[in-house]
Amino acid sequence: MGSWLDGPKAAAEKMGADFGHRGERLGLPKDGPGSVAGPGRRLGALFVDGWLCSLVAYGLLSRGDQAGANLWTTPLFYVVTVVLLATSGTTIGKRLFGLRVVRLDGARASIPQVLLRTLLLCLIVPAAIWDRDTRGLHDKAVGTVEVRI
């Protein structure tokens, strides 16, 4: 009963399969700076960024109108995320959680990569599908990874 509750990875590991640590296939360290960010940190950073954009949309753009705030939140999130990732490689939420978005070779993501990655992130579904390194489809599509700093 425990094998199907634990999931396929745990069952395969019990049979002797070695998947290595998260990010090993990408040549990234197991822990510390440069290692693949865990899902908890990534979701926390996304929540902070989304909350800040909602706050700005509600207070400044919609002048207290809830329907107007809902209309402006996603476009504002897209613009803020693209600008911050293209210039510094991190957003406010990512900075608070110690994260950065980089290319697989460790360099800063290019502007086209940031534009497409953020668009796919706003669509939600690509970001909700992860591989065993916990890279979402939005990261895999553009060749980026979110790492700890």
Beta strands in 15-143 (DSSP E): 99-103
| % of the chain with per-residue pLDDT over 70 | 85
Higher pLDDT, residue 135 or 7: 135
Residue 25 pLDDT greater than 70, yes or no: yes
Would you kindly state where each structural domain of the chain is located, as residue ranges? 23-148
pLDDT at 119: 96
Q: Is the distance from CB of 144 to CB of 42 less than 8 angstroms? A: no
User: 114-130 burial, b for 16+ CB within 10 Å, e for fewer?
Assistant: bbbbbbbbeeeebbeee
**Terminal-to-terminal C-alpha distance of the chain:** 40
Pairwise pLDDT comparison (46 vs 32), residue with the higher score: 46
If you ran DSSP here, which 8-state letter would residue 108 be given? B
pTM of the predicted model as reported, rounded to 2 decimal places: 0.81
Structure token digits, residue 51: 């909350």
pLDDT category of residue 102 using cuts at 50, 70 and 90: very high
- The winner for highest mean pLDDT among 44-48, 66-70, 122-126 is 44-48
Residue with tokens 């970001």: 127
Please give the Cα distance from 29 to 46 (Å, whole number). Answer: 23
Classify 56 as helix, strand or coil: helix
The pLDDT of residue 42 is above 90? yes
Confidence of residue 96 (pLDDT cuts 50, 70, 90): very high
